[in-house]
Structure 1
Amino acid sequence: MESKNYLDDLSEIKDLMSRSSRFLSLSGLSGILAGLYALIGAGIAYVYLLPAEGESLRTHSTSFSLLVALLLGIAFLSIVTAIGLSYRKAKKNGENIWDATTTRLLINFAVPLLTGGIYILIKIQSDHFGLTGALMLIFYGLALVNASKYTLGQVRYLGYIEIVLGLFCAAFPGHGFWFWTLGFGVMHILYGGLMYQKERQG
């Protein structure tokens, strides 16, 4: 009996330590919705904004400006959705969404992501945007891996997948749109679905 109580105490201490050092309010549903936003955006871009076969996208064209606006809109919706659903989950579990762990999570996520974003903008200004899709996937994957130690461990594996897709994207130029759609759309939905199922079971 004492042995069982001892094991229960250890389990409780381990759980408390995990909660104090990791942001556990990340919602799987936010991953699903982010993937849906990406797929809808990809559909809009494919039908209305991407150049026809044999043509190239010009940096200062209206289509290019609209494409950038579309990407920013997808990112904004994904971020707002993640914050909103994480807040709802934290409130439901009686947890504080903003603390030192959240700050560390955001810093570790933002540094690789902002670095990649600035680098991509520099390349675009030089009219070198052929590897934009690959760079977005790679730096996003690095951001996920870097931030995973402060949140759900499964985020690391999504990061690895994004990095690998980014490398394949770089190795097969001309197919960046499809790798981007796979990474930001399909993978987010699959990852979010798995996490959401675990949340419902737990």
Structure 2
Amino acid sequence: MESKDYLKDINEIKELMNKSSRFISLSGLSGILPGVYAMIGAAIAYWLVTNSGQDYLNFDGTIFRLVMLDLFLIATFSIATAIYLATHKAKKNGVKIWDQTSKRLVINFLIPLVTGGIYILALLRQENYGQTAALMLIFYGLALVNASKYSIGDIKHLGLIEIILGLICALFPSYGFWFWILGFGVMHIIYGTIMHYKYDYKK
């Protein structure tokens, strides 16, 4: 009997240590809603480009700037939604939203993401548009994998899928737009739905 209690205590200690070293306040909706934003933003970008009458985007052109604004708004709404939902879940569970673990999560997520963003902007400045979608998927996937060690492990799976999609996209750059929708839209919605039923729905 004492042996069973001892093992139970060890398992409880291990679980507490694991929770203290990982940010577990992410919500499944923080995956679904950014996916929806991406789909809406992609539809707007598609409409802008197809109705522009241009065969290609010019870095200094109005349509290009509108597409960049579209992407910026998608990212802004996605980040704001993730912060709001994580804060709400953390308060509900009685845990801190901003501690050493969440700081490590953000730093490890931003390092590959910011690096990739700067590199992509440099390529766009040179009017090298062909690999933009592939690079966005790859660097975003790397950011997720890098941050996953400070959060729920399922994020790593999404990151690996994004990287794989990015590599395939690099082989078929003419389908970049559709790979972008698949990675940032469809996969986010699928991932968020799975996470919602796995972690949130039971609560």
TM bucket by the smaller chain?
over 0.9
Aligned counterparts of 1:173 and 1:186: Cα–Cα separation in 2: 19
1:201 aligned counterpart, secondary structure: coil
Cα distance change on mapping 1:167 and 1:50 into 2, 3 Å: farther
Aligned counterparts of 1:36 and 1:78: Cα–Cα separation in 2: 9
Matched, 1:90 2:71: no
Q: Is the 8 A contact 1:27 1:89 kept in 2?
A: yes
Q: TM-score, normalised by structure 1?
A: 0.96
Aligned length: 202
Matched, 1:143 2:118: no
Q: Give unpaired runs (5+ residues) of structure 2.
A: none
Q: Which amino acid is the alignment partner of residue 55 of structure 1?
A: D
Q: Give unpaired runs (5+ residues) of structure 1.
A: none
Give the Å deviation of 1:52: 7.3
Aligned counterparts of 1:84 and 1:145: Cα–Cα separation in 2: 22
Residues 11-56 of structure 1: CA deviation (Å, up to 9, x unaligned):
2111110111100001111100010000011111112234779811
Residues 33-84 of structure 1: CA deviation (Å, up to 9, x unaligned):
0100000111111122347798111211111000000000000000000000
Cα RMSD after superposing both structures: 1.5
Q: Which residue of 1 aligns with 2:42?
A: 42
Aligned counterparts of 1:57 and 1:3: Cα–Cα separation in 2: 69
Q: Which amino acid is the alignment partner of residue 119 of structure 1?
A: Y
Q: Is the 8 A contact 2:116 2:136 kept in 1?
A: yes
Q: Is the 8 A contact 1:50 1:63 kept in 2?
A: no
Give the Å deviation of 1:2: 2.2
Q: Is the 8 A contact 2:52 2:63 kept in 1?
A: no
Q: Which residue of 2 aligns with 1:166?
A: 166
Q: Is the 8 A contact 2:35 2:185 kept in 1?
A: yes
Q: Which amino acid is the alignment partner of residue 137 of structure 1?
A: L
Q: Percent identity?
A: 59
Q: Which amino acid is the alignment partner of residue 125 of structure 1?
A: R
Q: TM-score, normalised by structure 2?
A: 0.95
Q: Which residue of 2 aligns with 1:73?
A: 73
Q: Which residue of 2 aligns with 1:179?
A: 179
Q: Which amino acid is the alignment partner of residue 59 of structure 2?
A: T
Q: Which residue of 1 aligns with 2:129?
A: 129
